[in-house]
Amino acid sequence: MIIAIDGPAGSGKSTVAKRLAKRLGISYLDTGAMYRAVAFLALKKGIDLEDEEAVTELAKSASIDVKYDNVSIYSDIIINEEIVTESIRSPEVDAAVSIVSRIQGVRERLVEVQRSFSSMDAVVEGRDIGTVVFPDSKVKIYLTASEEIRADRRIIDLRKKGHRIEKDEVESSIRKRDSIDSSRAASPLAVADDAIEIDTTKMSIDEVVEKISLLVEDVI
């Protein structure tokens, strides 16, 4: 069983998906971390992010894996045998990931990697899970929230990791990423026709997890 959770940055996807997976006792997969890992590697190697051929070749040649603790609990994202779980959450990668993720060749490569997890029962989160990666998923959720709340959540995450950044910078980054993600030609951010939309602006994480859990129970 694949539970697909999509939505824009700061909508609560990662936190909700992790807690939901733990509650259900199944695996969790953050597909966005894979795009971040490729963006991180491109920056590290000094590759021009606008050079689509070079970035695609990098994605195709890189080994990308996910480490799980206790069989199913998500732990680390690994690229070329380097654990990059924390490194990919920097403001620099934030600025780069939308550029990298709009490249068709990169998306094709990573969708291939993501579908290799189809034999697992898992909560899978990203931006095109219900529309492209697992379109036959029986449970599709699209999370959203106000821009202000999404920016506040992102600031908290960044500051916890020691990054000092102003709110207007984060809001600008979110608006830019929303625009790129929703307008790109390759697998744009969109609500699947059969997805259930949940606005998390005024909801706690536990409330969102409870609501999705009930939806899952109806299916199984």
Give me the residues paired with residue 125 across strands. 5, 30
Q: Phi, psi (5° rounding) for residue 143?
A: -95, 145
How would CATH label the architecture of 2-219? 3-Layer(aba) Sandwich (3.40)
What are the distances in angstroms from CA 162 to CA 86, 90, 100, 116, 151?
Answer: 11, 10, 25, 34, 16
What are the distances in angstroms from CA 178 to CA 50, 55, 100, 188, 219?
Answer: 19, 21, 14, 10, 31
Answer yes or no: is pLDDT of 71 > 60. no
Query: Using one digit for the tens of pLDDT, what is the confidence trace for 164-190?
Result: 888 888 888 888 888 888 888 888 889
- Over range 36-64, report the average pLDDT: 97
**pTM to 2 decimal places:** 0.88
**C-alpha to C-alpha distance for 134 and 36, rounded to whole angstroms:** 20
Query: Using one digit for the tens of pLDDT, what is the confidence trace for 112-141?
Result: 999 998 888 999 999 999 999 999 999 999
In this structure, are residues 6 and 215 in contact, taking their beta carbons and an 8 Å threshold? no
Give the closest residue to 19 by CA, choosing from 218, 197, 212, 202: 212
Identity of the amino acid at 138? K
User: Which sequence spans correspond to the domains of the chain?
Assistant: 2-219
**C-alpha to C-alpha distance for 65 and 114, rounded to whole angstroms:** 10
